Structure 1
Amino acid sequence: MAAASRRTPLSWAALIAVGVFVLAFLAPFLVILLNAFKTSGDFRAHGSLSLPASWNWGVIEDVWQRTEFTQKLLNSVETSLGVVVIAVVLALFNAYALGIGRVRWRTAFLVFFLGVNVLPQEGLIYPIYYLFKELGLYDGKLGYTILVGVTYSAFGTYLLSSVFSSFPRELIEAASIDGAGRWTILWRIVLPMSWPTLSVMCVFFFVWSWNEFLYPLVLLISNANQTVPLGLASMQGQYTSDPTAMSAAALLGVIPMVVFFLIFQRSLTRGVTAGAVK
């Protein structure tokens, strides 16, 4: 009570603003949760903001079967984990060469990687489509995973290069004097000290890859290779729409991300905190 009585009007205003922001952020998820367990008749009779007259779990089961959600969930997990591995490994090697190795034309390489990040997918999708056709990678999860992993590695390289450029040179020089080679310095010194940044990159790359829509829409056309976003999009037809089924599909798409954040929230918090302290 004493702490609450010491709050100033400005602190109360900030607290109220944060509360309003949180409610506005959670409102769409609450609406999805309410409508995911309604019948179509219940939705038409009482609208989208009412509580379900009876919690209908059959909607979730129906959507799961119609979209073959198990296969799409496995595809998303497989491709997203593959993207994380490819992107982080490439970014680590590139940034080690640019940030610590100080290779020639370092600035030009950084400008190139920055340029890759700002290129729109719409401008790249047609060349990539024809290239995949020629290479026999079209409609294959391997080619798609490599493409997205290499694309994300450009952002990771740009980010890690700025971190490695301020890396303590004394540690590297001391390790070199002790006889450590470049690989030893990378794995024994640079990698452990850079893990907070790498963990944040892993989380971001996984979420970005999970939410990818344009690339898998064009490159993964068979039902056996499609990811979760494509499965959810198949619930919306040109002339038909079932709001309760769409809500159930959206809920199924959100749950894996929530579980992922709950598992890795500690790593994400540590990475962000380490970057702020630095």
Structure 2
Amino acid sequence: MSATTAIVTRGAAPRNRRRRTVGDWIVLAIVAITALVVLFPFLVILINSFKSPQDYATGGPLQLPTGLYFDGIAAFWQRVDFPQKLWNSFFISGTVAVLAVVVSVLNAFAIGIGRVRGRVPLILVFLLANMLPQEVLLYPLYTLFRAVGLYDNVWAVIITFVVIQSAFGTYLLASVFGTFPKEILEAASLDGAGRWRALWQVIVPVSRPTLGVLMVFFFIWTWNEFLIPLTFLIGNANQTVPVAISVLQGDRLMDVTTTSASALLGLIPTLVFFLIFQRTLARGITAGAVK
């Protein structure tokens, strides 16, 4: 009797699922429309990357291709030596992401936890440095790199972007480290940990989600940079993917379909990188929200 009663009670238990209201459907529709607007340029590039010039001239940019056309991708791949450009972009972006995070951590530790004198003015200096337009930096950096022999060298771009990205990273992490619980640092000090050990064995592991988000953003931001690599990497062997695309377009050596293919090849690596590290972004945002 008790078992039967339990089954009936379980079957008759009210559901806690909330019904969707009109407001929920409106929000869902707005999100769907926004997603379509964001994805529309990518879809246009994808369609035209596999379309022949004849199909484009006949049906325009929005019509589906009558057949798959790979000559545009092959032409761009061969003209710019795409594997070399892809490696240059990966090397520059990855090196900048790692070094900028390390420099940001060291600066933020000194400012946020070390409590150096003039903490607030220093943070403002880093904020202002991050707000400077890149055009202002071109001539001084050009003169400097020509003097030290780094012009047309990938390390000129790496050094420049490490400084630029770490300015933002320092501003962000100084605020995060400034709220770090003092009890944890005191406990580490009682265990015999010095400042260096406390930084790398206590603070960095706790802040790993935030550092992961910074590294992903630094990589994507550096990958998409155009002006500074265009100015300092004039040799074909040192150019990045965005620079290679613009140089070919300036030479008028590509039709519309080849241009779309080049844009697709330049977009895919960052998209793959973002999809691989999307969990890192989600954990970092969630950790920040919970804190």
How does the TM-score come out when normalised to structure 1?
Answer: 0.96
Instruction: Pick one of 37, 50, 55 that aligns with 1:37.
Output: 50
SS in 2 for 1:236: helix
For 1:10, the equivalent position in structure 2 comes to: 23
For 2:215, the equivalent position in structure 1 comes to: 202
Q: Distance in 2 between matches of 1:222 and 1:110?
A: 37
- The amino acid of 1:123's aligned partner reads V
240-249 or 147-156: bigger deviation: 240-249
Q: Does the alignment pair 1:251 with 2:261?
A: no
SS in 2 for 1:235: helix
Q: Distance in 2 between matches of 1:64 and 1:240?
A: 13
Q: Distance in 2 between matches of 1:118 and 1:16?
A: 36
Instruction: Pick one of 58, 62, 65 that aligns with 1:49.
Output: 62
For 2:136, the equivalent position in structure 1 comes to: 123
Q: Distance in 1 between matches of 2:185 and 2:79?
A: 56
Q: Does the alignment pair 1:188 with 2:196?
A: no
Q: How does 1:128-143 map to 2 (within 5 A)?
A: 128-143=141-156
- The amino acid of 2:70's aligned partner reads W
Rg comparison, structure with higher value: 2
Instruction: Pick one of 222, 233, 239 that aligns with 1:220.
Output: 233
Instruction: Pick one of 49, 70, 87 that aligns with 1:74.
Output: 87
SS in 1 for 2:145: helix
Instruction: Pick one of 127, 152, 162 that aligns with 1:114.
Output: 127
Q: Distance in 2 between matches of 1:244 and 1:57?
A: 10
Aligned residue pairs total: 277
Kindly provide the CA deviation profile for residues 23-53 of structure 1, in whole angstroms up to 9, marking residues without a partner as x: 0000000000000011111100110000001
Runs of 4+ in 1 over 4 A off after TM superposition: 2-5, 238-241
For 1:260, the equivalent position in structure 2 comes to: 273
Cα-Cα RMSD: 1.6
**Gaps spanning 5+ residues in structure 2: where?**
1-14
For 1:237, the equivalent position in structure 2 comes to: 250
- Kept after mapping to 2: 8 A contact 1:86/1:146: no
Kindly provide the CA deviation profile for residues 249-273 of structure 1, in whole angstroms up to 9, marking residues without a partner as x: 0000111011101211111110111
How does the TM-score come out when normalised to structure 2?
Answer: 0.92
Q: Tell me the CA shift for residue 238 of structure 1.
A: 6.5
Kindly provide the CA deviation profile for residues 95-115 of structure 1, in whole angstroms up to 9, marking residues without a partner as x: 001111101111121111011
Q: Percent identical across equivalent pairs?
A: 54
- The amino acid of 1:15's aligned partner reads L
